[in-house]
């Protein structure tokens, strides 16, 4: 199949290398040093899916009409990236590989002739240098759209993507996006203090703040009438129970949830942006929770404070642990 990948970063590079290895005709978009590195030496993938060296075609914009497109940018870049490639991709099946709640709707709005799906990835991947990606932990990914059961196209595309990494077609995709949003509450705190996800979770005080942001997200989701999808051992029942727990009991949830990361330090995709000096996705993660709260006349003070701290880090660098701990005192 001819597959176009927009944004050959951590996940885009992983999919590009593995789909190329599976025999697909892959073209990626990249810019600057990444474009030069991929044109010169291909994509070098290491870690959980083995060592793969993929010599794929690379350009600033896709040059050939693909059958399938993966949009692998951060959420804040999706609109610009899709618009720039719209002439070539409108009409193709588009999979938006993205955290947050908006990816599929953004693509569908910009590409009226395309069939758009979303992919929730639990894989942890690190874009270590231009052209190089290291997968620090592997896991099944989830493909779907809307609220209904999985459709035939989701199943067909899940089969194609499973030639690269395990992908399941799921129903109730919107609810699963919310569950993934709860999981992504692990991104902000490590990005603020410049520690790995594992280090942040092993610190009692930081874990408390992560737990509070997760619980606030679940409570807002419940108030919005969301039925949380099953993903990574979480489901609607478990999250509703978690929403009622005091923090000292609830803090067990992030500990068990992220045990799968193992001991290879995972920075999370938000901190990777910080370390590269790029804007983060925080307005589409914790910021999405704040907007969802506002839509029902409510507030999400923990998430609001974490958004502000991540923006401070983007401007001025990592902050001491005390600044995060203070979030629960205000
Ligand atoms: N990394 C991970 O472990 C995981 C990531 N995710 C999610 O997957 C999505 C992708 O994340 P990740 O792979 O980490 O992101 P990266 O930042 O590693 O890669 C994003 C890519 O998009 C490119 N890009 C940015 N703007 C544009 C544009 N306007 N046009 C074309 N390309 C553009 C970037 O290029 P440039 O570098 O030149 O800006 C970069 O190559 C995010 O939503 C993230 O939250 C989900 C699970 C795990
Ligand atoms: C896999 C996980 C939860 C943490 O690495 C992630 O989604 C991210 O980094 O954005």
CATH code of residue 252: 1.10.1040.10
Q: How far is the CA of 3 from the centre of ligand 1 (A)?
A: 17
Split at pLDDT 50, 70, 90, the class of 113 is very high
Residue at a domain's end among 145, 171, 197:
171
273 in the same domain as 145: no
97 in the same domain as 28: yes
Distance CA 69, CA 67 (A): 7
Distance CA 276, CA 195 (A): 15
150 in the same domain as 251: no
- Index of the ligand 2 atom closest to the CA of residue 136: 5
190 in the same domain as 69: no
Distance CA 162, CA 256 (A): 26
Q: Is-contact 20 26, C-beta < 8 A?
A: yes
Q: How far is the CA of 65 from the centre of ligand 2 (A)?
A: 30
Ligand nearest to C-alpha 278? 1
CATH of the domain at 26: 3.40.50.720
Q: pLDDT: is 256 or 62 the higher one? A: 62
Within 13 Å of residue 188, how many CA atoms lie on the same side as its CB? 36
192 in the same domain as 138: no
Q: How far is the CA of 40 from the centre of ligand 2 (A)?
A: 29
160 in the same domain as 101: yes
For 175-212, how does the pLDDT look when each residue is reduced to its tens digit (9 = 90+)?
A: 999 999 999 999 999 999 999 999 999 999 999 999 99
Name the token pair of 95: 């999979």
For 143-173, how does the pLDDT look when each residue is reduced to its tens digit (9 = 90+)?
A: 999 999 999 999 999 999 999 999 999 999 9
Reported pTM: 0.96
**For residues 302-317, average pLDDT:** 98
For 35-75, how does the pLDDT look when each residue is reduced to its tens digit (9 = 90+)?
A: 999 999 999 999 999 999 999 999 999 999 999 999 999 99
320 in the same domain as 192: yes
pLDDT of the residue at 329? 86
**For residues 78-82, average pLDDT:** 98
Q: Confirm or reject: Cβ of 139 under 6 Å from ligand 2.
A: no
Name the token pair of 309: 């701290």
Residue at a domain's end among 171, 189, 204:
171
Q: How far is the CA of 33 from the centre of ligand 2 (A)?
A: 24
Distance CA 117, CA 96 (A): 6
Q: Confirm or reject: Cβ of 154 under 6 Å from ligand 2.
A: no
Number of domains in the chain: 2
259 in the same domain as 240: yes
321 in the same domain as 221: yes
- Index of the ligand 1 atom closest to the CA of residue 60: 31
With the most atoms of ligand 2 within 8 angstroms of its CB, the residue from 268, 275, 276 to mutate is: 268
Ligand nearest to C-alpha 134? 1
Question: 139 is in which domain, residue-wise?
Answer: 2-171
The residue whose CA has the least distance to atom 46 of ligand 1 is 121
């Amino acid at each position: 199949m001819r597959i176009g990948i927009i944004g050959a970063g951590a996940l885009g590079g992983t999919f590009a290398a593995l789909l190329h290895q599976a025999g697909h005709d892959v073209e990626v978009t990249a810019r600057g040093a990444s474009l030069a590195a991929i044109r010169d030496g291909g994509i070098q993938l290491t870690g959980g899916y083995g060592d793969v060296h993929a010599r794929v075609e690379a350009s600033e914009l896709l040059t050939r009409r693909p059958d399938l497109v993966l949009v692998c940018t951060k959420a804040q870049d999706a609109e610009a990236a899709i618009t720039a490639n719209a002439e070539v991709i409108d009409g193709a099946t588009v999979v938006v590989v993205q955290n947050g709640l908006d990816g599929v709707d953004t693509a569908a709005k910009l590409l009226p002739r395309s069939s758009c799906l979303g992919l929730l990835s639990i894989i942890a991947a690190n874009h270590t240098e231009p052209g190089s990606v290291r997968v620090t932990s592997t896991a099944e990914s989830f493909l779907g759209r809307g609220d209904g059961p999985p459709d035939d196209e989701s199943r067909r595309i899940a089969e194609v993507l499973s030639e690269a990494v395990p992908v399941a077609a799921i129903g109730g995709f919107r609810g699963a996006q919310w569950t993934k949003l709860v999981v992504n509450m692990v991104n902000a705190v490590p990005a603020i203090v410049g520690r790995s996800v594992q280090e942040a979770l092993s610190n009692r005080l930081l874990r408390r703040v992560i737990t509070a942001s997760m619980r606030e997200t679940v409570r807002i989701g419940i108030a919005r009438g969301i039925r949380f999808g099953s993903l990574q051992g979480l489901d609607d029942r478990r999250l509703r129970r978690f929403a009622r727990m005091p923090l000292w009991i609830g803090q067990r949830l992030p500990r068990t949830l992220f045990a799968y990361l193992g001991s290879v330090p995972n920075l999370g995709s938000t901190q990777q942006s910080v370390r590269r000096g790029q804007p983060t996705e925080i307005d589409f993660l914790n910021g999405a929770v704040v907007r969802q709260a506002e839509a029902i006349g409510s507030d999400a003070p923990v998430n609001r404070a974490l958004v502000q701290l991540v923006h401070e880090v983007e401007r001025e660098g990592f902050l001491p642990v005390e600044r995060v701990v203070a979030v629960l005192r205000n």
